[in-house]
Amino acid sequence: MATTPDAAFETLMNGVTSWDLPKEPIPSELLLTGESAFPVMVNDKGQVLIAASSYGQGRLVVVSHESYLLHDGLVPFLLNVVKWLCPCPGAPIAVHSSLASLVNILGDSGINALVQPEPGEALGVYCIDAYNDALTEKLIQFLKNGGGLLIGGQALNWAAHHGHDKVLSIFPGNQVTSVAGVYFTDISANRDWFKVSKEIPNLRLYVQCEDELEDDQQQLLK
């Protein structure tokens, strides 16, 4: 099992030679604040579109648009993700109904997965979009106890309806991913150019965790 960020990145990128993204979806830039969080996909503007991290005994991968999880062009990467997230060989792979077609994508590559409304008691991998606000506590506990979480979404539409100033603290996906130092933002990410890195990309800006973010995270952990 890959235990360091460098080893994890190598596992996630094994055999990935290009980023084949769907053209239409507009992703959200991801904000990384935690010590365990590291970028996996970064564009030429230094914006993070895919990140990985850990929390408790578990691991998570955060993707900046849920459609990326259903795109055939990213299958080699998604297979690596499931492998890295899986706590042990043979552990169950479950998918929320919001990403139901991911079951077929994984199945076509020999990975058995089932649609399941929430993470099961058996620790494995759970895949879900970032818009569910009913499973927050269960997802955090699943991750903390050693499960692997794959979550994707964008906060642009949510921010337009609920307020841009509430994205970091209230957006459903952030209620979960923030415990591991990863946030969906309301900033659209450029998707015109990507380079496959052989090592963890260096971000142009290193973000310090502000007091407001720390307060939000502490509130979630209570």
Q: Is the pLDDT of residue 218 over 80?
A: no
What stretches of the chain show up as alpha helix (H) in DSSP? 5-12, 75-85, 102-107, 136-144, 156-162, 167-170, 172-177, 211-221
Convert the pLDDT of each residue in 151-176 to its tens digit.
999 999 999 999 999 999 999 999 99
**What does each C-alpha distance from 66 to 61, 102, 109 come to in angstroms?**
12, 11, 20
Q: Is the pLDDT of residue 35 over 60?
A: yes
Q: Containing domain of residue 92, as a range?
A: 5-221
**Average of pLDDT values for 191-196?**
84
Distance, CA of 195 to CA of 193 (rounded, Å): 7
Percent of the chain with pLDDT over 70: 91
**Average of pLDDT values for 128-140?**
97
The C-alpha torsion from 138 through 144 and 148 to 154, rounded to 10°, is 60
Q: How many domains does the chain have?
A: 1
Q: Is the pLDDT of residue 203 over 70?
A: yes
For residue 126, the number of C-alpha atoms closer than 13 Å in the C-beta half-sphere is 26
Q: Is the pLDDT of residue 179 over 80?
A: yes
Distance, CA of 208 to CA of 63 (rounded, Å): 21
Residue 204: per-residue pLDDT = 54
**Average of pLDDT values for 129-150?**
97
Q: How confident is the model at residue 215 (pLDDT cuts 50, 70, 90)?
A: low
Supply the pTM of this predicted model: 0.90
Residue 85: per-residue pLDDT = 97
